[in-house]
Amino acid sequence: MILYTVGCSFTYAQQRGWPNILADKINFTLENKGHPGAGNTYIGNALLLDSAFARKKPDLVVIMWSGLTRKDLSVDHKDQHIMSALDGYGYIRWTGHNTSYLLSGGGQIGSWHWHPATKEIFDPLYKFSNEKTMAQDTLVQIINTQHYLKQNNITYLMSSYVNYWGNNKKVVDLDYGIGQFADLKYLVDKIDFSRWVFANENKDCIHELAKMNNDLEEDNFHPGFNTHERWADLILKKLNEDNYITTEKK
């Protein structure tokens, strides 16, 4: 049985994160495609582009969507000229047979600022974006991924790494409330939130859960180990309550 997870550093989380904990609890083999700095273009498209995913459908997919301002650009990693120009930049994730995603590494003030090639690439992308268009991009990725998983009869759950579903002008880090854009409500309404995991009815997520339990790491942003354990338990509870899979260990 295969558990396939996708997300940013909140999902990557090395060996101590909720994907590893969940896989152990349900006795599944984990394929974790999380990557630090990943944006929602990478997260949504990773499923379609992963050749292993195409050969064998996983038994469960759990996606944790990332920051609204993060941008990802596909590059041909067999193109030596391109890859040479990107040498030394750490936020590149192999996705597809011969392509990778170049990640902005945190969003508008991400790591791309400190590399000459990535600054040249991302500067114009951010220059002609604003908060509404970036929120729209994330919503479209969520809806397209939801459609793909349902169309292929793949059991899945989703969440976002922070609660950006309200009307707040600023949430945490670089994120903000999608709800402040009334003209995007029709997209939000297309999301099947019955397949989502939240910490409470307010749509709080793993970051807010860590904050509530005083379990944030030193950067005051990433959740600590205890919260990863709690989040895995919330996913397990959702799986059991909605009868998505049999989670008892053999």
| Residues 213-224, mean pLDDT to the nearest whole number | 95
Structural domain that includes position 6? 2-70+131-241
Q: Which tens digit of pLDDT belongs to each residue from 97-134?
A: 889 999 998 888 889 999 999 999 999 999 999 999 99
| Residues 167-190, mean pLDDT to the nearest whole number | 96
Angle between helix 40-49 and 131-151 (nearest 10): 20
In angstroms, rounded to a whole number, what is the distance separating the alpha carbons of residues 19 and 17? 6
Is residue 98, in this structure, part of any structural domain at all? no
Tokens representing 122 are: 């991302």
CB burial string 210-219: b at 16+ within 10 A, e below: bbeeebeeee
Query: Residue 162, by phi and psi: left (phi above 0), alpha (psi -120 to 50) or beta?
Result: beta
Whether the pLDDT of residue 181 is over 70: the answer is yes
Q: What confidence score (pLDDT) does residue 69 get?
A: 96
Query: What are the residues whose beta carbons fall under 8 Å from the beta carbon of 1, sequence distance 6 or more?
Result: 26, 27, 28, 29, 59, 60
Q: What confidence score (pLDDT) does residue 246 get?
A: 63
Q: How many structural domains does the chain have?
A: 1
Is residue 33, in this structure, part of any structural domain at all? yes
Is residue 10, in this structure, part of any structural domain at all? yes
Is residue 211, in this structure, part of any structural domain at all? yes
Q: What Å distances lie between residue 2 and 31, 83, 173, 195, CA to CA?
A: 7, 32, 33, 19
Is residue 105, in this structure, part of any structural domain at all? no
pTM reported for the whole predicted model: 0.95
Q: Residue 159 belongs to a domain with what CATH number? A: 3.40.50.1110
